[in-house]
Amino acid sequence: MWAFRRASIHLKNRVFSLRGAQIFFPKSEIASCSLGHYNHVFAESEVLIDGLLSSTKFYSTSSSSKLYMAVRTLSSTKFCSTSSSSKLYTAVHTFSSQAGTESGGENGDDLEDGFSELEGPTDATEEALSGDENMDDQLISEVDSAATYTNNAFLEIGTEVDGGEKEYSKTRATSPMTEAILAALPLTIHKVLDKWVEEGKEVTRKEVTSTFLHLRKRKLFLKALKLSEWLKSTKHLDFLERDYASHVDFIAKASSIFQADDYINKIPESFRGEHVYRTLLANCVATTHVKKSEEVFNRMKDLKFPLTTFTCNQLLILYKRTNKKKIADVLLLMEKENIKPSLFTYQLLIDVKGLSKDISGMEQVLETMKAEGLEVDTRIQASLARHYAANGLENKAEAVLKEMEGENIQKNRWVCKTIIPIYASLRRADEVDRLWEVCKSNPGLEECMAAIVAWGKLDRISDAEETFEKMLKMLKKPASKHFSVLLKVYTDRKMIEKGKELVRRMAETCPSIWPSTLDSLVKLYIDAGEVEKAEKILDAAHVRNKGRPMFTSFLAVMDQYANRGDIHNAEKIFQKMRQAGYFSRLQLYQSLVRAYTNAKSPAYGFTERMKADNIYPDKAMSNLLAQVDPFRKTEVDELLG
């Protein structure tokens, strides 16, 4: 999935510039992209290393020096340093050789990552819902990673997790304040809260904490922002840096990262610390806005904030989607600054090795992690099992699953929701049946949803429907996410009429549509040949929910217009995707240029548009660009002079 620099690329060939955000590879094979009769050399934005790695000379015998030498000779597997970063780099240095392989190069990176935007690990059920596909956008849209984000302002107790940070527990029961805000319209929240105080009710941090958690869980960021504004203006709580960081987070999610950045300038300087800026950075990464992310990173460096594992992991997530060759630079930076990789860092790299079909490399990363004394948790085990299954290594996959299951499945029943869909991927219906028997008498919601996914993979539609009906009886108020698992089963099998009937049932009970449900709904109508209807549904849901549809939902519609050669509508969807925050993705441009190709129309200024977005064409994209180059000369043109 991620690709590192190739062996022929040497750091001595690079020219770094402070804040100029440009770096040139005069001898690099990746810089020159053939576009018809001329070559374009794109200047990469490389602000993450400016000033930190501005010198190309390392004479030290430290691990940083050894890592630098390893980067210069990537074809070598010898590496002597004993530091964790050095070992990690050794384990992953072959990623560049995976670029453009079956992992899909740029094509697959946006759709397969299984990690939350703000570094919180994913919930197993969300992974099951994704069907191991489209996981990245599933998580962006549906997992409120900020609920586990350590900058949450109003949370005070929790358990230690990655990098010494805190993960805070969620309160299940809604408080009276939460109920009042949930019942109110966003613009009336100030009045509701004023009335709350007039009635003599207290505003405590504990109650505010509970309210924010429930609002985040429901993705009601505008309401959360209004509550935060009211708390600030009425001074019912004394704002600390974490409170301001939370406010920045709400602005970024309810409005835009640019307005969140503007707000930072209004925060008292004494509270304008690292937590505030890394909250902004994480939101910039979540929107895949490369320029803004690098700008915020550079600002943090200028402000002398310490470089942390969290920050580096954000960069890894960013470059995984936009420019895999920069991943090596992040690891080199971590090595130079002596930043120890976290469990999440290893989880990312294990996943990327698996997705690039480099199983031996994946196992090497795992061994490196173990050597550093980090324990393999359930999420990493699940990733290993999925990648083994996807690469046809059934025995290895089953060995990991049995290890997860343990000796007593009744005691370890909580793993069922994770391993049931993986067994289905292995076509092990007997194992799915065995595990479902453990849950069947008293299943939890997550177990039901995982089972529906599994039945779908095994083409046992009646079992999926039976489990779905059982789940609905357990729910007082079904949400669209509960319908989405069965809808995806119907959509994947092009069961159009059943899908439409399920949508009608959903409309009767669900006030809003979750992004994963919307994604299945859009694809359902596309499969029915009703692309315009799919686009209308996408637009209506986007406006109504005030949320961001999944990347794949937009792309599915855009691809249909591209196949038709409908440039007007393809460009329209392209702009909607940018407005939704999907920046710097090669897939957008690949789909758009296909519209011009199929329309047999020249695309003026296309390479300049890509360059402005820091998009670098791969070989396939270069061939497409050559076809729509308005200044390309044909063989006949050459003959005629």
**Please, which pLDDT band fits residue 294 given cuts at 50, 70 and 90?**
very high
Mean pLDDT (whole number) for 1-29: 34
What is the pLDDT at residue 471? 94
pLDDT greater than 60 at residue 68 = no
What is the pLDDT at residue 584? 67
Amino acid at 129: L
Mean pLDDT (whole number) for 40-44: 32
Give the list of residues 6+ apart from residue 89 with CB closer than 8 angstroms, or none: 67, 70, 71, 79, 328, 331, 332, 335
pLDDT greater than 70 at residue 42 = no
**Please, which pLDDT band fits residue 89 given cuts at 50, 70 and 90?**
low
pLDDT greater than 70 at residue 621 = yes
pLDDT greater than 80 at residue 151 = no
Pairing of strands 38-41, 32-35: antiparallel
Classify 122 as helix, strand or coil.
coil
Length of the chain equals 641
pLDDT tens column, 448-473: 999 999 999 999 999 999 999 999 99
User: Between these two residues, 438 and 134, which has the higher pLDDT value?
Assistant: 438
What is the pLDDT at residue 127? 39
State phi, psi for 38 to the nearest 5 degrees: -140, 165
The CA–CA distances, whole Å, from 103 to 356, 357, 426, 526 equal 5, 7, 20, 26
283-292 as b/e, with b when 16 or more CB fall inside 10 Å?
bbbbbbbbbb
pLDDT greater than 70 at residue 572 = yes
Burial of 387 (0-12, 13-18, 19+ CB in 10 A): buried
pLDDT greater than 80 at residue 640 = no
What is the pLDDT at residue 520? 85
What is the pLDDT at residue 83? 55
User: Between these two residues, 640 and 180, which has the higher pLDDT value?
Assistant: 180
**Please, which pLDDT band fits residue 327 given cuts at 50, 70 and 90?**
confident
The CA–CA distances, whole Å, from 180 to 22, 190, 196, 595 equal 51, 11, 9, 49
Highest average pLDDT, of 188-197, 339-348, 457-466, 529-538, comes from 457-466
For 420, other C-beta atoms within 10 Å of its C-beta total 28
User: Between these two residues, 130 and 372, which has the higher pLDDT value?
Assistant: 372
Token match 């089963």: residue? 489
pLDDT greater than 60 at residue 61 = no
pLDDT greater than 70 at residue 146 = no
**Please, which pLDDT band fits residue 66 given cuts at 50, 70 and 90?**
very low
What are the tokens at 584? 């710097």
The CA–CA distances, whole Å, from 282 to 83, 225, 509 equal 27, 18, 34
Choose among 372, 362, 382, 347: nearest CA to 124: 382
**Please, which pLDDT band fits residue 237 given cuts at 50, 70 and 90?**
confident
pLDDT tens column, 542-564: 666 556 788 888 999 999 999 99
Percent of the chain with pLDDT over 90: 33
What is the pLDDT at residue 21? 35
**Please, which pLDDT band fits residue 95 given cuts at 50, 70 and 90?**
very low
What is the pLDDT at residue 90? 57
Give the list of residues 6+ apart from residue 624 with CB closer than 8 angstroms, or none: 590, 593, 594, 597
3-state SS, 189-203, equals HHHHHHHHHHCCCCC
Highest average pLDDT, of 43-47, 143-147, 169-173, 347-351, comes from 347-351
pLDDT greater than 70 at residue 200 = yes
pLDDT greater than 90 at residue 384 = yes
What is the pLDDT at residue 544? 63
What is the pLDDT at residue 17? 33
Mean pLDDT (whole number) for 605-619: 81
What is the pLDDT at residue 506? 87
What is the pLDDT at residue 87? 62
Candidate from 83-97, 406-420, 617-631 with smallest mean pLDDT: 83-97
Whole-number Å distance between alpha carbons of 251 and 280: 10
Mean pLDDT (whole number) for 289-294: 90
**Please, which pLDDT band fits residue 85 given cuts at 50, 70 and 90?**
low
**Please, which pLDDT band fits residue 209 given cuts at 50, 70 and 90?**
confident
Q: State the alpha helices, DSSP H only, in 270-415.
A: 274-286, 290-302, 309-322, 327-336, 343-355, 359-371, 378-390, 394-405
On average, the pLDDT of the chain sits at 74
Highest average pLDDT, of 108-112, 138-142, 197-201, 613-617, comes from 197-201
Mean pLDDT (whole number) for 426-449: 93
What is the pLDDT at residue 551? 87
What are the tokens at 246? 């939370």
DSSP code for 78: -
User: Between these two residues, 300 and 196, which has the higher pLDDT value?
Assistant: 300
pLDDT greater than 50 at residue 386 = yes
